Amino acid sequence: MPVVFGNPDTFFHYALSSLYLLCLSGLFLYGTNCYVLLLRFRRYRRKGLLEYRRVLREFEASPWHNDLPQVTIQLPIYNERYVIRRLLEAVCALDYPRDRLEIQLLDDSTDDTVEIAHALAAHYREQGLSIIHVRRNNRHGFKAGALKEGMETARGEFLAIFDADFVPPADFLRKTIPYFRNPKVGMVQSRWGHTNPDYSLLTRTQSIGIDAHFSIEQGARSWSGLFLNFNGTAGIWRRHAIIDAGGWQADTLTEDMDLSYRAQLAGWQLKYVLEVACPAELPVQVAAFKSQQFRWAKGSIQTARKIIPPLLRADCSWFAKYQAILHLTHYLIHPLMLATIVLSLPLMHAHNWQHRSWVLVVAFFLFAFSTFGPSSLYVSSQRVLYPDWRSRIRWIPLVTLVGTGIALSNSRAVVEGLLFSGGNFIRTPKFDIRRPGDLQNKLRSYWLKLDLLPPLELALGVYALLALTMASTTLGIWISPFLFIYACGFFYISLRGIGESMERITWKFGGTQAVKSAQERK
């Protein structure tokens, strides 16, 4: 120790190496947990399938089959002119007795969605459906506030929630309501499907990431008795469970995760059903995808700050608590990734670092375990869900690139989540995109705020490339593969983002010029 502290340079080098390995150890912790969840999924998958079959079989033989409970479907919408019709068509086609079904259009819109929703509600009322168009004077609490206000007048004992971009299958209620025969069940979550997975490389990567979460992670947590979360949509709540857990609260941007944990801490069981898929539209713009991820990352960390203290005091196993903490803080992987990128170059510049090449050898193995953990979930999810899974897994490297490319944006979200509660709920634009040509005519209606991060992400790509160049000529070759992944990820996300921004600027300029020309002709 005297040698270390007696030489400032040596102390700096040891501190740098220690910090680098600490960040890698964090990534290793989260990456290794992917293997844990995968093993639990394989161990308990049959249990989940047998439970699903048993629940449906017992439901068919129970009085509930002929005396179904009252269900209120809540549809929180905000400026959804392109998808509101598709949503209502699907909801109104649900196979459920009309006298037991109530539909609430919780409409906070500020554009012509209001008129469209009003006309559609009137149309379906004429067909005998109980549908209410609910308007608020403000957006207090955003989605959580709308759901809370809607619940005050809802008639249903159970509340099914669908976001505007979802298309529930006709048998959705028939396959999920049976779980509530167990009075301890407070919520049932279905699997998210996709309406546009083949639209672009970006939507392909998102679909694989979502598949991994819903097929492997949620299944493993639900079937093995761990904490899981309601994903905000495509699920059903028991009204009493919401009330007992303290109701909808808007002090985090992930009100769904917050309520899920409060309900489980209050003793309620949450169920996940792999066999019921509810398709949804994937964001087709990088800016929209990053905005959605930002909200999830910030909200998850806010929920972690709020939930972890009572979680640690809860009467459950330490393994369940450990898994819950990893679940709540999962987005910490992004600042950890960012730190490893930033530290890699000074680490290789350190004086006599070659004599401590063991640091890079250890880094290689930590990186490898961290990287292949999520990839194992991606491969397994495709194998579980799709007969043609072999043709789908070729996109998995791109999933890794996209995940690293949003590290800067999500790191900012994590910092905000650690420092602040609440925040603005930025909606993800939905366009009913089915073919490549659909976007151009609709995009201009719902421009997102101009993203200022792409230039910084591009700079990080250049930085990672410089580190890669240096690493490839020295013993740093141990970490070269991962620097290559980081560089490609940042280049992909930044260049896509810059391209979208330029398209927006060009359209605005062109649109202004067109208006001026039209005025001059008059």
95 classed as catalytic: no
| Strand, coil or helix: 59 | helix
Asked if 11 contacts 18 with a C-beta cutoff of 8 angstroms, the reply is: no
**Count of other CB atoms within 10 angstroms of residue 363:** 22
Burial label for 384, CB within 10 Å (0-12, 13-18, 19+), is: middle
Among residues 114, 124, 126, the alpha carbon closest in space to that of 84 is found at 114
What's the maximum distance between 2 C-alpha atoms anywhere in the chain?
A: 85
CA 288 – CA 297 distance, rounded (Å): 14
CA 64 – CA 247 distance, rounded (Å): 27
108 classed as catalytic: yes
Pick the catalytic residue: 165, 211, 256, 432?
Answer: 256
Q: State which H helix or E strand residue 33 sits in.
A: helix 8-60
Pairing of strands 235-238, 158-161: antiparallel
Question: Number of C-alpha atoms within 13 angstroms, CB side, residue 127?
Answer: 13
Pick the catalytic residue: 107, 108, 163, 211?
Answer: 108
Ramachandran sector of residue 104 (left: φ over 0; alpha: ψ -120 to 50; beta: rest): beta
Asked if 135 contacts 106 with a C-beta cutoff of 8 angstroms, the reply is: no
Asked if 64 contacts 97 with a C-beta cutoff of 8 angstroms, the reply is: no
CA 26 – CA 203 distance, rounded (Å): 29
Ramachandran sector of residue 141 (left: φ over 0; alpha: ψ -120 to 50; beta: rest): left
Among residues 254, 47, 90, 273, the alpha carbon closest in space to that of 180 is found at 273
Question: Number of C-alpha atoms within 13 angstroms, CB side, residue 229?
Answer: 24
Active site members: 108, 256
